[in-house]
Amino acid sequence: MIGSDARNCPACGDMLRSTALFCPKCGTAVLPSVSNALQVSLGQILNSVKPGQAEVMRRCAIPRWFDSEILGVLRDRQDGANEKILAQLETYSFVRQLSNGRYSYSDDVRDLLLDDWRQRPDDLRPIQKRLYNYFERRMGSTTSENRATWLREIVTYDLLLASTTLVKDQQESENPWIITPSAVAARVERAILRFRSLFESAFNAHRMAEAEAILIAAEEQVNILAPTIRQWLEYYRGKMNHASLRLPEAIACYQQLLKQNNLDTELKALSSISLGDVQVENGSWSAAINSYQAALDLPKLEPGQRAAAHLGIGDAYNEIAISSGGWHIASQPQNPLVRTLRNWVLALGTVPMFILVTLLRRAGAAVPPAAILVRYQNWMLARIFRASREEVLAAYAIYKERNDQSNMARCEMRLVDNDVLFSSIKQAVILAQDLLDHTKPENTYRRARVQVTLARALLADRQYAAAQQEVEAALKVFCAVDDGRWETRALSVLGHIHVSKQQPEPALDAYRQGLERAVQIGSVLSRERILYELRVWRRTRADYPPAIDTLLDTASSQRFVNRFPRFLVPYLQIGQSVVVPILVLLTSIVAPNLQPPTVIRTTSNILLPAPTVYTFPWERLIISPLLVLLIAALGYTLLGLVVLWRMPLKQLRQNQPDIYVIHADELVHYDHQGHEAHRIKWSDITTIATADRKLWIRPLPVFSRSIIESKNQPVLRVEGIISWYNTACRIIQERTQAAGAAFSNVDLSFSLLRSRSGIVLITGATLLAVMVASINQWVPDLAALLPASVFAALQLLAYSGVLMIGPMLFWLVIRPLRLRHEFALDRRIPKIIAGVGLAIVLLFIVTNGSIVRVPILSITLFLAGLFLVTETGYQLSVQERQGRRTLVMRSIFQMVMFAVGLMVVVGPIKREFYHARAHAYTVQSNPNAAKDDRVLEAEQSTLFFSNQMDLEIAIAKTDARAWSEADQEYTAIINDPTYDPFTQTLARHNQAQSDFLRCRNTQTCSAAEYARIIAQADRVLEQIRDPQAQSAAYETQADAYGALNDDAKALEKLLRARELTTDAEQIRQLDIKINDRKR
């Protein structure tokens, strides 16, 4: 005990009084250390007075302050000496007078004495109990004004007494402070409840200073309080921090608490919910949702807490959605033609969406109308609003069960807002009107809030006058009580009403006032709401007042939010990238039609199939893409609805959209967890690189981004999917310039259609269109007009699609990979691209080179796939900073691989060329040249496209007078059931004709052999209906009959052949033969 402990002299070892400064024996100064100097000094004072005085002085340290009455309690006697003692105490330097008659010890002295008391708990407890009783008595007799002061003291002692009660271990103990463990627990619980009640009564009435004073009093001796009490105090410290907007401190309190294993379930639930509340306010919505979810996952949760958690999640989702700025409003092209075309395409795309969504809405589903859902930018927003609605409904159900009217009203207001957003206008108006009817007239403030909600619904219902009346009435109330947040909301609604009524001036006034008020009260959401309204006005009305520009430009702080969490961007990029290629691919599969097989007759009366020609029937050419588009629109609709209903929210919980806040002096970026990731002063910016991809002028959102480099900060990527991307980029540029930053602008943007690659693509599309028109004979046949080789080359170029696929590769692959290499962006992109390339190559191999029906297009796709694999491989090598040797080896390997690929397709390309030229020759009535090209085509050895061209090979052998081998080939074809009958018939004819040619050349054939040739020709005539082929067969028969000197028969057959043919060359030949026979 202070003032009673002894010590020895360090010089002579003599026993010293605890308070001695000198050794009385040797005179050595016995100086206390700094740490115990105060203790020694205090001990000295206590030792110097009578024991009773010292004890009272010690006791005065127990309460936080004392007056004469409390002194009486401490002394346990009211003998009239208290005033006198107080006067004596006042003379000590460590006693401070707080106010008239109220004193306290200095903190250091009191702490020392309290430490001392903790060594004597048995002596301390009765005094604390007396103080507790005194404060209870005093509270009962005081005015309400001071009641809180005494209550604070009571609960403090209650907590202390409960914490210092000992647990009974011996039945015979007579100590009244020793009780059973259950009684101790009950006492602790009672003390906590009392504390909570007191704290919360002050806290809920927003008497923050009082609530804090209660907490501080309880925390004063926190280290000796029971663990459960300490945990509750930590929880309320968190609440206090939250209320005073010390959000990081509040989060730390709750997180610290939730780490503890032995946490009471109720406290755990409350802490999780409160943590969620702070995180919502802090903008960490994803974390907030996780916190609420953690509360919901607790096994025993009070219904009220469950409802609060649901409502919290609903609010967090709502905040995520609202903070992204509202529904996406697409910009309108300025060119009326383009605008009309775009709107038509959009309307077509909306048809399935409109049908399905209308059906769903009629069935009572909460979905936004088709006009909103048709834009993919709104899907995620709609999903979030739906999630929010579901949570609010869950909370509403619980509140309804408990008949908690006020919380039901909170939920209903949110539901009305949700209905307005989803354009369930009538429903919203009815609900809001009902809500207002049930709000007591005397509850002016509450009515005003409901009136704003109702006004919003009425505005959506185009009841402008009624909406204006409600919102103006509400506005008066908010102005009267200075509620800036709701005032700005009301002004925002009022502005919107005026815009709808086409009253620009009053609308501007309302928005301007709202904006000023929002800035004044520092409400970010209020400010952003109005900025959003202004931007929508500017975008949707061509005649918007120019003052909007000024308002938007002068807003010093503006927030831009990603319309999607970043993790979705690659999926969107892939989704959008494949749409056009898939459309082209599907069209290339569906549209071409093979002409029925025809024949070419050579001058030696050999027949061979004419080259196949693809035609493009108009109905397929128009209807097919339309059908494909319609199917795509249906798929798009279904995808949208899947996102709306089934999109897992788990990902979203962990990935909220990024936020970019543009201030007057800096740019702040909050990442997917709501943490501040960048804070860049404008003057620190060194580079602004713009990497936008545009179709014409406007950036394509998911393919565009700006990259900002600055001193001492990591590279910042501003995604094109943020709301109002162009505006954000412009402001960033302007503010960086205004700050005088020495920065460079790097323009990596390009417009797809206005670039050289765009010109190539347009050329490719035009060439294809011309070719299609030509082959369909909508224009003169190019095959007849152009030299055969030129025609073949052009057809190859058009059908290969290389002029369109090339630019697409450049846009979708090469540039993104280069950018990635330069800025180290998403690491998954090259791997995804390489995967796509590999899939195409494998598909080419598996389908035997027939990925699509047009062979040359298959070849282009194969080469494109190969390019994707090799290019991404190379870029990955560069990115991974591999050693030069490895890099060279990989490069060589990839080049070899690409070269092998090229070699593989050289044969097929040549063959396609000969095929196309053969067609041109056929059209140009040059059957021999056509036959030669067909033969050349057949002779190309390839790994792929092993088409059955044995007939052409057999013909080549006939031409080479290899009669026997030719005969074997023809026989093989005739006997091979895999050949189609048409080819077999041609082979049969060619066999007969080949036999005849052999006979004529060798002059060794018997009559029987000629008879067999005639019989073969007869069978040909039975099997084939093509007049050209029949004509050739008759001619063969005529030649055979001629060899047998049966002139009549020969002439008859020649005349039949002459009747059937239209081939000028054959007619000429037949005429000569007929004349010969007649002679």
Partner 1 sequence: MSNIVKLFVNREKQTAGFIKMMEGGTPKRVMIIEAGGGLGKSWAIEYMREECQRRKVPNVEVDFADGVIYDFLAVLRRARDSFGASAFNAFTQTINQVTQPTLRIENVGSSSSNITLGEANNLAGANVTVGDVAGGNIIKDNSFVINADSAVVRQALQDRLTVAFFECLEQLTAQGPVCFFFDTYDKVTIEAESWLLTQLLPRLRERQLTNVVVVIAGRSAPKLDNAWDSIIARTGLDLFKVEHATEYLVQRCGLKDEASVINALFQASTGLPQLLAMLAENILRSQDTGGQDDWL
Rounded to 10 degrees, what is the CA torsion of 851, 854, 855, 857? -80
Radius of gyration, alpha carbons of the chain: 46
Under DSSP, the state recorded for 567 is: G
CB burial string 924-938: b at 16+ within 10 A, e below:
bebbbbbbbbbbbbb
**Dist. CA 726–CA 931, nearest whole Å:** 61
For the record, the structure tokens of 407 come out as: 């919380």
Q: Is residue 85 within the footprint of partner 1 (CB under 8 A)? A: yes
> Measured from the CB atom, is 486 or 970 closer to partner 1?
486
- Do the bridges between strand 659-662 and strand 558-561 make them parallel or antiparallel, or are there none, so unpaired? antiparallel
Q: Counting contacts by CB under 8 A, is residue 252 touching partner 1?
A: no
- Interaction of residue 889 with partner 1, rule CB under 8 A: no
Q: Minimum distance from CB of 515 to partner 1 (Å)? A: 19
Q: Does 11 bind partner 1 (CB under 8 A)?
A: no
Q: Which stretch binds partner 1 (CB under 8 A): 277-285, 355-363, 445-453, 1062-1070?
A: 445-453
Q: Which of residues 552-591 bind partner 1 (CB under 8 A)?
A: none
Stretch that binds partner 1, among 85-93, 387-395, 549-557, 953-961 (CB under 8 A): 85-93
Q: Residues 423 to 442: which contact partner 1 by CB under 8 A? A: 442
How many CB atoms sit inside 10 A of residue 215's CB? 21
Among 443, 925, 946, 1001, binds partner 1 (CB under 8 A): 443
Least distance to partner 1, CB of residue 731, Å: 24
Distances (CA, A) of 1005 to 364, 641, 1012, 1034: 89, 79, 11, 20
Q: Is there a contact between 286 and 652 (Cβ–Cβ < 8 Å)?
A: yes
334 binds partner 1 (CB under 8 A): no
Type of residue numbered 812: L
DSSP string, 601-616: E-TT--EEEPPP-EE-
Among 246, 853, 910, 1019, indicate the residue that binds partner 1 (CB under 8 A). 246
**Does residue 216 interact with partner 1 by CB under 8 A?**
yes
Task: Give min distance, CB of 247 to partner 1, in A.
Answer: 13
> Using the rule CB under 8 A, is 106 a contact of partner 1?
yes
Rounded Cα gap, residues 12 and 500, in angstroms: 99
Q: Does 100 bind partner 1 (CB under 8 A)?
A: no
- Sequence letter at residue 654: Q
Q: Can you tell me whether residue 681 is helix, strand or coil?
A: strand
> Which residues, listed in sequence order, are joined to residue 719 by a DSSP beta bridge?
705
CA geometry: angle 917, 922, 924, nearest 5 deg: 95
Look at the chain and count its residues: 1079
- Interface residue with partner 1 among 80, 93, 223, 437 (CB under 8 A) is 93
Three-state DSSP at 175 gives coil
Question: How many residues sit in the footprint of partner 1 (CB under 8 A)?
Answer: 78
Does 112 bind partner 1 (CB under 8 A)? Our answer is no
Note whether 207 binds partner 1 by CB under 8 A.
Answer: yes
Q: What's the closest the beta carbon of residue 678 comes to partner 1, in angstroms? A: 20
Name which of residues 925 to 964 contact partner 1 (CB under 8 A). Answer: none
Within 730-749, which residues bind partner 1 (CB under 8 A)? none
Q: Is 64 in the site for partner 1 (CB under 8 A)?
A: yes
208 contributes a contact to partner 1 by CB under 8 A: yes
Give the shortest CB-334-to-partner 1 separation in angstroms: 44
Torsion, CA 1063, CA 1069, CA 1070, CA 1075, rounded to 10: 150
* Nearest 10 degrees: Cα torsion 250, 251, 253, 258: 150
Q: Which of residues 449-478 bind partner 1 (CB under 8 A)?
A: 449-450
Query: Cβ closer to partner 1: 206 or 1079?
Result: 206
Q: Which is nearer to partner 1, 77 or 1025 (CB)?
A: 77
Is residue 444 at the binding interface for partner 1, with CB under 8 A as the rule? yes
Q: How far is the CB of 12 from partner 1 (least distance, A)?
A: 17
Helix or strand holding residue 668 (H, E): strand 666-670
* Alpha-carbon torsion (498, 503, 508, 510), positive or negative: negative
- How crowded is the C-beta side of 1062, counted as CA atoms within 13 Å? 4
Q: Which of 1, 4, 17, 81 binds partner 1 (CB under 8 A)?
A: 81
Ramachandran class of 496: left when φ > 0, alpha when ψ lies in -120 to 50, beta otherwise: alpha
Closer by beta carbon to partner 1, 113 or else 809: 113
DSSP state string for 460-492: HTT-HHHHHHHHHHHHHHHHHTT-HHHHHHHHH
Please state, in angstroms and rounded to a whole number, the distance separating the CA atoms of residues 922 and 10: 125
Task: Give the range of 237-245, 692-700, 850-858, 903-911 binding partner 1 by CB under 8 A.
Answer: 237-245
Contact between 670 and 729 (Cβ < 8 Å) = no
Regarding 22 and contact with partner 1 (CB under 8 A), the answer is yes
Please tell me the distance from the alpha carbon of residue 510 to that of residue 708, in angstroms, as a whole number.
Answer: 36
406 touches partner 1 (CB under 8 A): yes
Residues 266-285, one symbol each (x = binds partner 1 by CB under 8 A, - = not), give --------------------
Nearer of residues 74 and 923 to partner 1, judged by Cβ: 74
Residue 218 lies near partner 1 (rule: CB under 8 A): no
Of 53, 654, 850, 1023, the one binding partner 1 (CB under 8 A) is 53
- When asked if residue 107 is in the footprint of partner 1 (CB under 8 A), the reply is yes
The residues in 142-161 that bind partner 1, with binding defined as CB under 8 A, are: 143-145, 148-149
User: Does residue 59 contact residue 127 with C-beta atoms inside 8 Å?
Assistant: yes
Query: Nearest approach, Cβ of 192 to partner 1 (angstroms)?
Result: 22
Q: Are 914 and 791 in contact (CB under 8 A)?
A: no
In the complex, what is the shortest distance from the CB of residue 146 to partner 1, in angstroms, rounded to a whole number?
A: 9
Comparison of 27 and 635: residue with beta carbon closer to partner 1 = 27
Half-sphere exposure of 43 (CA within 13 A, CB side): 19
Q: Which of 243, 298, 700, 786 binds partner 1 (CB under 8 A)?
A: 243
Q: Residue 15 interacts with partner 1 (CB under 8 A)?
A: no
Examine residue 40 and tell whether it contacts partner 1 (CB under 8 A).
yes
Angle at 1075 between CA 1074 and CA 1079, to 5 degrees: 115
361/446 with CB nearer partner 1: 446
SS3 977: coil
Kindly state whether residue 403 participates in binding partner 1, applying the rule CB under 8 A. no
Query: Shortest distance, CB of residue 711 to partner 1, whole angstroms?
Result: 20
- The contact pattern for partner 1, residues 126-145, with x = CB under 8 A and - = no contact, is -----------------xxx
